[in-house]
Structure 1
Amino acid sequence: MNKYTTDVAIIGFGKAGKTLAGALAKKGQSVIIIEESTEMYGGTCINVGCLPTKSLTHSAKIIEQLSAFGIERTAETNKRFFKQAMDYKTELVTKLNKKNYHKVADLDNATVLDGFAHFKDDHTLLVDTETETLQVTAAKIVIGTGSTAFIPEIENSQSSQHIYTSEEILELTDLPQKLGIIGAGPIGLEFASYFAEFGSEVTVYQFDDSFLSREDTDDAKAVLDRLEELGVTFEFNAQAKSVEDTNTGVRLTVEQNGGVKMAELNEILVATGRIPNTSKLDVEKASVVLGERGEIKVNKNLQSSVEHIWAVGDVKGGPQFTYISLDDYRIVLPQLLGQESNYNLETRRVYPTATFVDPTFARVGLNEKEATEAGKNYKAAKMSVSSVPKAQVLRETSGFLKVLVEVETDFILGARFFSHEAHEMINLIALAINENISYKNLRDGIYTHPTMSEALNDLLEMI
Structure 2
Amino acid sequence: MKDFDAIIVGTGQAGPPLAGRLTAAGMSVAIIERKHVGGTCVNTGCMPTKALVASAYAAHLTRRASDYGIELEGVPTVDMPKVMARSHQVTLNARRNNRDWLQSMEKCSLIEGHARFESRHVIRVGEELLRAPRIFLNVGGRAAIPDFPGVDQVPYLTNSSIVLLERVPRHLVIVGGSYIGLEFAQMYRRFGAEVTVIEKGERLIGREDHEVSDAIREILEAEGIQVRIGAECIRLEPHPDGVAVGVDCSEGAPTIIGSDVLMATGRRPNTDDLGLDTAGVEVDDHGYIKVGDDLATTAEGIWALGDCNGKGAFTHTAYNDFEIVAANLLDGEDRRVSDRILGYALYIDPPLGRVGMTEAQALKAGKKVLVGRRPMSRVGRAIEKGETQGFMKIVADADTRQILGAAILGTGGDEAIHGVLDVMNAGATVDSLRWAVPIHPTVSELWPTVISQMSPP
What TM-score does the superposition give when structure 1 sets the normalisation length? 0.92
CA distance in 2, matches of 1:245, 1:331: 51
Does 2:450 correspond to 1:459?
yes
Post-superposition offset of 1:86: 1.3
Post-superposition offset of 1:202: 0.8
CA distance in 2, matches of 1:78, 1:201: 16
Task: Check conservation: 1:160, 1:245, Cα contact below 8 A.
Answer: no
Does 2:134 correspond to 1:143?
no
1:317 is aligned with what amino acid? G
What TM-score does the superposition give when structure 2 sets the normalisation length? 0.93
Equivalent position of 1:99 in the other structure: 97
CA distance in 1, matches of 2:252, 2:379: 46
Does 2:46 correspond to 1:50?
yes
Alignment CA distance shift 1:8-1:335 (3 Å): farther
5 Å-filtered alignment, 1:233-382, equals 233-238=226-231, 239-244=233-238, 246=240, 248-257=241-250, 261-337=254-330, 339-346=331-338, 348-382=339-373
Task: Check conservation: 2:341, 2:355, Cα contact below 8 A.
Answer: yes
1:152 is aligned with what amino acid? P
Task: Check conservation: 2:177, 2:199, Cα contact below 8 A.
Answer: yes
Task: Check conservation: 1:361, 1:416, Cα contact below 8 A.
Answer: yes
CA distance in 2, matches of 1:48, 1:229: 28
Task: Check conservation: 1:79, 1:174, Cα contact below 8 A.
Answer: no
Equivalent position of 1:83 in the other structure: 81
Alignment CA distance shift 1:335-1:280 (3 Å): same
CA deviation vs aligned residue, 1:176-214 (integer Å, no higher than 9, x gap): 121000011111111112112222111011123232323
CA distance in 2, matches of 1:204, 1:300: 37
Post-superposition offset of 1:78: 4.0
CA distance in 2, matches of 1:288, 1:382: 46
Equivalent position of 1:23 in the other structure: 21
SS at the partner of 1:167? helix
Task: Check conservation: 2:151, 2:235, Cα contact below 8 A.
Answer: no
CA deviation vs aligned residue, 1:148-176 (integer Å, no higher than 9, x gap): 11111134434534x11111110100011
CA distance in 2, matches of 1:342, 1:287: 25
CA deviation vs aligned residue, 1:216-248 (integer Å, no higher than 9, x gap): 2222211111111122111122232123153x4
Post-superposition offset of 1:77: 4.7
Gaps of 5+ in 1: none
SS at the partner of 2:163? helix
Alignment CA distance shift 1:197-1:9 (3 Å): same
1:407 is aligned with what amino acid? A
CA distance in 1, matches of 2:416, 2:227: 29
Higher mean alpha-carbon deviation, 449-458 vs 95-104, is at 449-458
Task: Check conservation: 1:352, 1:363, Cα contact below 8 A.
Answer: yes
Post-superposition offset of 1:28: 1.0
Post-superposition offset of 1:24: 0.8
SS at the partner of 2:50? helix
Post-superposition offset of 1:260: 8.1
Number of residues of Structure 1 aligned to a counterpart in Structure 2 = 449
CA deviation vs aligned residue, 1:372-420 (integer Å, no higher than 9, x gap): 2223222211111011111112111100001122233333221111011
Post-superposition offset of 1:446: 2.4
CA distance in 1, matches of 2:218, 2:61: 19
SS at the partner of 1:13? coil
1:252 is aligned with what amino acid? V
RMSD: 2.1
Equivalent position of 2:415 in the other structure: 424
CA distance in 2, matches of 1:53, 1:409: 40
Task: Check conservation: 2:239, 2:257, Cα contact below 8 A.
Answer: no
Task: Check conservation: 2:209, 2:358, Cα contact below 8 A.
Answer: yes
Equivalent position of 2:106 in the other structure: 108
Post-superposition offset of 1:115: 0.4
SS at the partner of 2:355? strand
CA distance in 2, matches of 1:88, 1:207: 34
